[in-house]
Structure 1
């Protein structure tokens, strides 16, 4: 009797293996064979799910983007600044939980990726800008705080991410509270 394979689970296994390989070797130096070996499957099996290395990279990025999209989708109720706190905390915790995906992002930033990074950042800044607009309407923000500060907040999170990735002595999770103190409490009226 042939073995029944859960295609969705196998696809995720391949993507996780690709993230580990891309993080370890860099995208440019990685081969489909490396991903297959990491996943413990034959090279041809990878091609059943992805037609190229670029489509694997896109899949890894889409997997990361889906995880990242869950953070703002799960903010729940509360004031805009309470939800912004949850957004910042959730983002930093997600980045700490998936360091290989974060390393792949660094590699992608340095190349000419087949991924629309600008659209991803626009969406992320847009989520934060909406919370800032709500907070301003509710009188929660200091004067002069506006949607431009969304880019500053994203830059702070990404800057902490880069430092945590290049310096193993720095814990991204240890930076959650300082980032919240500066980027959320620092803008509160």
Structure 2
């Protein structure tokens, strides 16, 4: 029984990974379940055993990224180091995570930039960003209370910091000459107040 459950989990992950590759290569709107099945090396019916639709595949991929991101945010919030250092560590971890998730980042950009007049968006990216900004703002507020940070408005500074990370991500996605992780320390020096910037 345990091996069967493990096999099912592995097959589901194989299909999900294949879906992300197909969505990144073809674009979400043009991708078909048949394409995902071919990429995963399974029959089309096998995909439907795990996922009811392309939208469900997309949501599952996004939820996986959101869970990995949430873990990074939780680790930063729960650490014992000064808040500014935890914020710097969080920024490093987020950029490293995004660097490993290039295809999924391309898919999310594709979905976000699609014609929103065609209907409701399949993902709640706004909620994702609200949680992200809230975690950054909490660390900034804590750093200010510790006296280790320049006076900033935590919510607005958090929006600027998250926007800078996303801007770095966008440049990396559209210009192969940009190295995402190489932008980490410059970004920290500019936007993480206090003693968070040194590696």
TM-score (norm 1): 0.92
CA distance in 2, matches of 1:144, 1:8: 45
C-alpha deviation, 1:177, in angstroms: 1.1
Structure 2 CA distance for aligned equivalents of residues 127 and 74 of structure 1: 11
Q: CA deviation at 1:143?
A: 2.3
1:92 aligns with 2:95: yes
Distance, in Å, in 1 between the alignment partners of 2:98 and 2:175 is: 15
Match of 2:56 in 1: 55
Between the aligned partners of 1:178 and 1:23, the Cα distance in structure 2 is 29
**Cα contact 2:21–2:103 (8 A) shared by 1:** yes
Aligned residue pairs: how many?
185
- Give the number of the structure whose residues are more often helix, by fraction: 2
Deviations 1:109-139 (A, max 9, x none): 1134211111111111111011011011111
1:188 correspondence with 2:191: no
User: Can you list the C-alpha shifts for 1:5-42, whole angstroms capped at 9, x where unaligned?
Assistant: 62222111111111111111110010001111111111
Q: C-alpha distance in 1, partners of 2:90/2:33?
A: 35
Deviation digits for residues 154-175 of structure 1 (CA, Å, limit 9, x no counterpart): 1000000000010011110111
Counting only pairs closer than 5 Å after superposition, residues 29-178 of structure 1 correspond to structure 2 as: 29-75=30-76, 76-111=79-114, 112=116, 113-178=121-186
Structure 2 portions without partners, runs of 5+: none
- Quote the RMSD (CA, aligned, Å): 1.6
Shift of 1:71: 1.1
Matches of 1:166 and 1:144 in 2, distance apart? 32
**124-133 or 145-154: bigger deviation:** 145-154
